[in-house]
Amino acid sequence: MRLILAVALGLVVLAASACSAPAPPRSDAPSVTPAGPAALPAPTGDRPVGTTVLYLTDTSRPDPWNLDVQARELKVTLWYPTEQRDGQRAPYMTPKESELLLKGSGVADTPYDTLSKTRTNAVQDAEPTRDKLPLAVLSPGFTKPMSTLTSLAEDLASRGYVVAGIDHTYESYATTLSDGQVAECLACESDTDPGFRAGLVQGRAADVSFVLDQLTSKWEHSDLIDHKRIAMVGQSIGGASTVAAMVEDQRIRAGIDMDGTTYARIPRSGISRPFMFLGSQEHVPGSRDNSWDRDWKLLTGWKRWLVLSTAEHQSFTDIPLVADVIGLEPLPGMLPAARGAELTRTYVAAFLDQHLKSRRQSLLDKPSSRYPEVTFCPATCGQS
């Protein structure tokens, strides 16, 4: 029997169960010797990348998960272009965050601090460039920390974006707060409640609007952000939250849902701003998860529906990139980790360049021989 990455970290997640706690690894699977520390692929843009962390507190609302907390505290990681090429690289996550993520995901027989040793490319607390830049907000999947989208964030920053990644407190296995306390996944205790997912995405939409308020007016470098060029990109429930946030906040001019079942209701008038679905085979037209079929009709502006033929649920994240170091093997025939990262970076950047920088991207017009894994739906998926 083979040890399957998809099982051990909850990677192949059907749309209907995208928010459920991942299953533990199979006990009859053979052990795999972990490799050395993982290293994220270098960004493809021409600008060095800096990063810093902000802790923001929304005193206008209590925390939805911790009833003892009367304000919502969020950890926001920023990536941005910088002139500084040398300096200490930012940590991927803390040893405690690595421990809680691996334990929560059912990964055993691996040193629990392993993921904290992952090498990143961004310089910690580097001074940002002084350009006026578009902003991309990132939202991760349920139970996953924002760090699992670091490769995409670094790449976008190297291409000239300010990137704001939100750790939605108590919705992942580990979020380190401003006082050093580590918030664990309280929301996991409620994920089988009726209406849980719909409520979750509405809460994340509120998080996003609050973060936009802070970044565009109160952050010390708020002058970097072009208020008229803001987009959001999310994976799994983060993708579903992109829809919810766009419904609620007109400042978000474009959005991408990466392999997330959608739960927010779109008004009958639709969403006229640019939107892209980017997913695995679980989201082809007519699949068991019909949420994209439903919402496709309500996207009334520029839109694309792209499916990666050999991708699985976490192909759009860093999880496959670090799989070797925690002793896990991917499913045979699935998209290799480096290729998944390349495709995700390429198509997300093309979308943002076209809609936030007004640079026409022919890659988004039709299938490309360079990227044969990418199918344009619904027409080329067998439905018109």
**CATH code where residue 62 lies:** 3.40.50.1820
CB of 363 closer than 8 Å to CB of 342 = no
Residue 131 CA to residue 153 CA, distance in Å, equals 18
Residue 17 CA to residue 257 CA, distance in Å, equals 16
DSSP at 41: P
How would you classify residue 170: left for phi > 0, otherwise alpha for psi between -120 and 50, otherwise beta?
left
What is the reported pLDDT for 35? 56
What is the reported pLDDT for 9? 55
191 burial level (CB within 10 Å; 0-12, 13-18, 19+): middle
What is the reported pLDDT for 383? 43
What kind and span of H or E run contains 319? none
Residue 163 CA to residue 152 CA, distance in Å, equals 10
Relative to beta strand 175-176, strand 162-167 is: unpaired
- Sorted by sequence, the CB contacts under 8 Å of residue 345 that are 6+ apart come out as 44, 151, 152, 155, 156
Q: List average pLDDT for each run of 10 residues in the chain, which is 384 residues long.
A: 42 36 37 68 97 97 96 98 96 97 90 96 96 97 97 98 98 97 96 93 98 94 96 98 98 98 95 97 89 96 96 94 85 88 98 98 96 90 50
Tokens in use for 195? 């209406």
Could you tell me the end-to-end alpha-carbon distance of the chain, in angstroms, rounded to an integer?
41
What is the reported pLDDT for 224? 95
CB of 163 closer than 8 Å to CB of 352 = no
Number of separate domains in the chain: 1
Buried b or exposed e, range 9-47, using 16+ CB within 10 angstroms: bbbbbebeebbbbbeebeeeeeebebeeebebbebebeb
| 139 phi and psi angles, rounded to 5 deg | -135, 125
Residue 148 CA to residue 337 CA, distance in Å, equals 13
Structural domain boundaries, residue 224: 5-381
Q: Which amino acid is at 95?
A: P
Tokens in use for 293? 């079929």
Please choose, from the candidates 266, 236, 271, the residue with its C-alpha nearest in 3D space to the C-alpha of residue 250: 271
Residue 24 CA to residue 103 CA, distance in Å, equals 9
- Sorted by sequence, the CB contacts under 8 Å of residue 31 that are 6+ apart come out as 3, 109, 327
**Angle, CA 170 vertex, CA 105 and CA 13 arms, to 5°:** 40
What is the reported pLDDT for 381? 73
Residue 187 CA to residue 169 CA, distance in Å, equals 9
Residue 361 CA to residue 312 CA, distance in Å, equals 26
Residue 266 CA to residue 277 CA, distance in Å, equals 15
